[in-house]
Chains A and B, each alone.
Chain A
Amino acid sequence: MKKQTLENIAGWIFIAPVVILMVVFIIGPAIFSFGLSFKDYNLLKPDQSTWVLFENYKELISDPNFYQALFNTLKYSIVVVPVQTFIALCLATVANQKIRGKTFFRVAYYIPAVTSAVASASMFMFLFNTNGIANKFLGLFGFKAVSWFTDPTYALPLAMIMAIWSTVGTQMLVFLAGLQDIPSDVYEAAAIDGATGMQQFKSITIPMLSEKTMFVVVVGMIGTLQMFDQAFIISGGTGGPLGSTTTVVLYLYNKAFGENRLGYGSAVAVCLFIIIFTLTLLQKYYFEERPKRLERKVV
């Protein structure tokens, strides 16, 4: 047999189980939802649903609440993704050092990832209460006490802090595993050449982690653009104060399950999908295609 045929067979054997599961359990329901986005579909009256083509989308692009939700979500994502990626990388570097108490640091950094959302929410209530520690600490630097949960200016930043705090642990794991792939003799060679720790980090660690960084950034972006839990906890599901924590998915959820408008909710999901997909393609280009082209130019 030709080599390509063998490759095709091998590839499909490796991927087949996953593809089958994916088609049955995910693609099917996803197509169903996509279809619903062109329908006026009331959750409680499915047999009275009618095709309305683009009506849902038309309504969506003229709804100021949707734009507010989208704006909040983007703002949230733009802040959270870089910060959490940076912190996760730093933590992984620390947790990969030959330092005393390495296991302690690894466990400590990972623990927020396993702390349940309810527990962390309660703790944030304690810390960010109007009379809480956070305000007292900020007071030392001359900041006025703020009402984090009820002031529209501070509720979203609080959600950002919660998200960064709770997701960094998992991303640290990815980087930690990535660091294992970098052979230590590369560092040794660099050290002999007189490269400082910072230089080594910049010219060895970061480039050699680029595939993992792409994973963390893409997954982080997808996760933040689908943000739901933190907003739900802080606002009790309403997206308040004054809509400042309404995210796209929270908006979608309230439309689909609160107002029973599953068709409209599906249209929101489709729009969100398109936005995330576009942004991911841009990142894939940035991380995978662009370096290849640059390489070719250099050669």
Chain B
Amino acid sequence: MEKSVSKPMKFLFYFLTIGYAGIALFPFFWAFYTSLRPTKEAFKLNFDFSGLSFDTYINLIEKNDILKWYFNSIVIAVCVTIIGVVLSTMAGYALARINFKGKNIIFMTILGIMMIPGQITMIPQYMLLNEFNFVNTYVGLIIPFVFNAFNIFMMRQFFLSFPISLEEAAEIDGLNRFGIFFKIALPLAKPAVTTITIMTFMGSWNNFLMPNLLITSRDMYTLPVGMASLNSQYFSFPNQTMAGAMLLSIPMVILFLICQRYFIEGVTSSGIK
């Protein structure tokens, strides 16, 4: 690419990439900055760097059982992610690669499920989970959320573009479907698996609507539900809200930093052959 790019083009490239990075990062910094301001300054929409401190965080952590909320959120998100990624990957592979009876109808159903607004199925879902005695339990906050139509759909799309010649070769070598999946397909799908791992974790981490219905006691709060409990119209102040937002997003940033190393540009096809 380099040799055919002219200097002005290069400049434009850097201008746009850095410019967009600024647009993307600014809100995060704004939130962080606001969270450090004293309350009587925090609602003002200006820049003033005097009097910044971590008092808001100390106050939030001292007055609320935030560590417990973290614990709950992490337990739930880790379980949902492990089970969810395994199931979605298997299902995605089957939908893309295995010619089994009923495949099309299952795929269309999964597509269809994404189109149902969650706000309307919330009530029957709650009725059902209540019947299962899932209310206010970890299992109730994990099992129903393991199924994720988006992830299955995504894995299907990835396995679709996976070179079929490899599987044919493996079949000749005497591998069955399971062997092909675990020995050939899965190792090659690392970038895709990394992506759904991040997405599943994030989905579970931020999930609010159903958990808010299912959690009835303070000791079961997940981080978003706990944070929402602190928001009431007149008694939430921007610095506290923003400190809450930072506490909520920092673990996701760390997870992303760890995972992004698996996106290595330019895998050579020689490795596949």
Contacts and interface: CB of A to CB of B under 8 A. Distances in A.
A and B touch in the complex (CB under 8 A): yes
Interface of A: 4, 6-12, 14-15, 17-19, 21-22, 24-30, 32-33, 43, 87, 90-91, 94-99, 103-116, 118-120, 122-126, 129, 132, 165, 169-170, 173-174, 176-181, 183-187, 191, 196-197, 200, 208, 210-212, 214-215, 218-219, 222, 226, 228, 249, 252-253, 256, 262, 265-266, 268-269, 272-273, 276-277, 280, 284
A277 B150 contact: no
Interface residues of B, number: 99
Interface of B: 1, 4-5, 13, 16-17, 20-21, 23-28, 30-31, 34, 45, 87-88, 90-91, 93-95, 98-103, 106, 109-117, 119-121, 123-125, 127-128, 143-144, 146-147, 149-150, 152-154, 157-158, 160-162, 176-178, 181, 190-192, 194-195, 198-199, 202, 206, 231, 238, 241-242, 244-246, 248-249, 252-253, 256-257, 260, 263-270, 272
B265 A10 contact: no
B116 A91 contact: no
A219 B150 contact: yes
A10 B21 CA distance: 45
A123 B30 contact: yes
B100 A12 contact: yes
The DSSP consensus for interface residues of chain A is: helix
Given A177-B195, A184-B266, A123 B27 contact: yes
B26 A25 contact: no
B263 A14 contact: no
Nearest to A112: B24
Given A6-B177, A27-B109, A107 B260 contact: yes
Nearest to B177: A10
B119 A123 contact: no
Contact of B100 (A11, A119, A219, A252): A11
Closest 8 CB pairs of A and B: A11-B100, A183-B269, A184-B266, A29-B124, A14-B94, A119-B245, A10-B177, A177-B191
